[in-house]
Structure formats: structure tokens, C-alpha cells
Amino acid sequence: MYTVAVINQKGGVGKTVTTVNLAAALKHKGHDPLVVDYDSQMNATDWLMGREATEDDATIFDSLAAWDGENADERTFANIFRSSDTVGIDFIPSDRRMAAASFDAVIGRSAVFPQQFRSRIQEFRTAEVQRNSSSPKNHDYCVIDCPPSLGRSIATALAGADGIIVPIHADRFSMRGVSQLQETIKQIRKVHNDSLRILGLLPNDLDLRSGMVSDMQEKFENIYSDILFDTFIPWRSKINEVATHGKNIMEYEGASDAASRYLDLAHEVVERSRVATAA
């Protein structure tokens, strides 16, 4: 299972739409993705479950918090993941306690937290391979929807990830944010996870009629040509619609330009993750 975290410290750049639509596109191409909602805002949870998580739902927080407690085995990813009735994708819900402040208050031992997520991912991988020894394809991608921050909870998610996708707006501030992000990734690699790679930057929400956007795109291509995806996602009302109505873009708008962009992205993600895994 290749694990990819969708991150950007800026809010509203399209992390959640990228996570869910990429997962839908991977599924459409015959893969079996697992979405992990890592954000206390629960947007991906709401999309996939049709509601926010309550105390009765086992969430990513429960799994991490229970890591070495009495009920550790009940809270493995294999035990808590569920399937979205509406979108047809497996996922692990988030809850409010994933906010950084609660992390520290509830867990009180954040220094070891990154290791816990990494271990849960590895444990899940092993359990799946054992369960499906004749068909190891099950859950071949894990896509993590991260909160808009570069704080400690991000460090935790990245400690368990193989690759990173960065949805990004084509503006000057977003461009500045990339170097900050690269610095964080360097630190994570040093301390927690030296195999972490940037899979790609994904320009998102582009207004193709604006001349400024093509100027910024050119700048992106000059500076980040090595990490930029060939695919980019324009502003499309369909993208907003599927997010708002909690739909699967491939089923709801399969013939749309938006859907075909996510299929292109899925293709690139598969190619790049194969190269990264082989390296």
C-alpha cells in the first residue's frame, strides 16, 4: 500500500477535493484506495459518511490514542475502517479531537505520536497482505486528507506517508508557502521518515480565463518543473457540486472535464509512486 498525504498549510486550496476525487479516480481505474481523514474539520468524513463523526464512531484519533492501551487491537485501521455508502470508497473518519491542542491535552505524549501513525499504517499493510495473500491488491493506496497547518499533527501524518501531494493556488503567496513546506519536509525526513518524497504539486482551482494564472503557471513551471504534476485542475462548478452533495465524481459527472482531470492525476500518481517504490 502506497500512502500519500495531501497537504498544504494554506486553507481552502483543495486538499479535501483532491483527496476524495483522487480516491474516486483510483477506484475507477481498478485500484482500492483507503481515505484517512486527518483533519478535525471532518470535511472528508462528512463527504464520505454524509455526516460528521460522533462519540459512537471509531475514528483515527481513537486508533492513535489507543495505540499501546488495553483496546489497542480493537482500534487497528483494519478494525475501524468503514465503507462509504454514497461514494463507494473505504475510509477512516476523523473527529474534533484531531485538533492540535487536543492532541497534546488528551495524549500528553506527543513526542511519540508520529511513530504511532507510522506503526498503525505498517500494521494495516501487514494485516491486509496476510488476509489477502492470494490477492495483495486490496487497499493499494492510502490517501490522507490533512488539515491546513504545518504543526505537529502534520508531522504525525507525514511520518506515516510515502509521498506528498500539494494542491496549490496559482498566486504569489502560495508560491512562497512551497519553500516553507519543503523546509518542513526536510525536517520530517531527518527526524521521522527518510523515505518521504514530494510526489507532486497540483495547481488547483485555476481560472483559465485569467492572464495572471498563465503567468503564474509559467513561473511554477520554471521553479518547480521537477515536482509539478503535468495535470492541473481548473475551477469547475462540477467539483464544487460533488463536494457539496457528497458524491463520487466518476459516477456523478464521469463524462466531465473535471472527472477526466482526476483520472489523469490518478495515472500520474500511480506512475510516480511506482518509480518512487522501485527507487
Distance CA 6, CA 141 (A): 13
Draw the binding track, 204-243, toward ligand ATP (x: CB under 6 A; -: no contact): xx---------------------------x-xx--xx--x
For residues 35 and 66, which CB has a smaller minimum distance to ligand ATP in the complex? 35
CB-side neighbour CA atoms (13 Å) of 271:
10
Distance CA 93, CA 20 (A): 13
For residues 66 and 166, which CB has a smaller minimum distance to Mg ion in the complex? 166
- Strand pairing partners for 204? 233
Please choose which of ligand ATP, Mg ion, none residue 243 contacts, taking the beta carbon within 5 to 8 angstroms, the exact cut-off set by kind. ligand ATP
Q: Which residues between 117 and 176 bind ligand ATP (CB under 6 A)?
A: 148
Judged by CB under 6 A, does residue 248 bind ligand ATP?
no
Contact 87, 47 (CB under 8 A): yes
Stretch that binds ligand ATP, among 14-22, 51-59, 90-98, 116-124 (CB under 6 A): 14-22
Judged by CB under 6 A, does residue 4 bind ligand ATP?
no
Q: Which grid cell sits at 242?
A: 460533488
For residues 43 and 231, which CB has a smaller minimum distance to Mg ion in the complex? 43
Helix (H) or strand (E) holding 268: helix 257-278
**Residue from 171, 241, 160 nearest 204 by CA:** 171
Please choose which of Mg ion, ligand ATP, none residue 236 contacts, taking the beta carbon within 5 to 8 angstroms, the exact cut-off set by kind. ligand ATP
Please choose which of Mg ion, ligand ATP, none residue 200 contacts, taking the beta carbon within 5 to 8 angstroms, the exact cut-off set by kind. none
What residues contact residue 142 under an 8 Å CB cut-off, 6+ apart? 1, 2, 3, 4, 33, 34, 35, 36, 121, 124
For residues 43 and 84, which CB has a smaller minimum distance to ligand ATP in the complex? 43
**Helix, strand, coil abundance in the chain, percent, nearest 5:** 50, 15, 35
Helix (H) or strand (E) holding 101: helix 100-102
Residues contacting ligand ATP: total by CB under 6 A = 19
What are the φ/ψ torsions at residue 90 (nearest 5 degrees)?
Answer: -80, 145
For residues 47 and 117, which CB has a smaller minimum distance to ligand ATP in the complex? 47
Q: Which residues between 38 and 57 bind Mg ion (CB under 5 A)?
A: 43
Stretch that binds ligand ATP, among 38-46, 96-104, 153-161, 271-279 (CB under 6 A): 38-46
- Residue numbers at the binding site for Mg ion (CB under 5 A): 15-16, 43
- Residue numbers at the binding site for ligand ATP (CB under 6 A): 11-17, 39, 41, 43, 148, 204-205, 233, 235-236, 239-240, 243
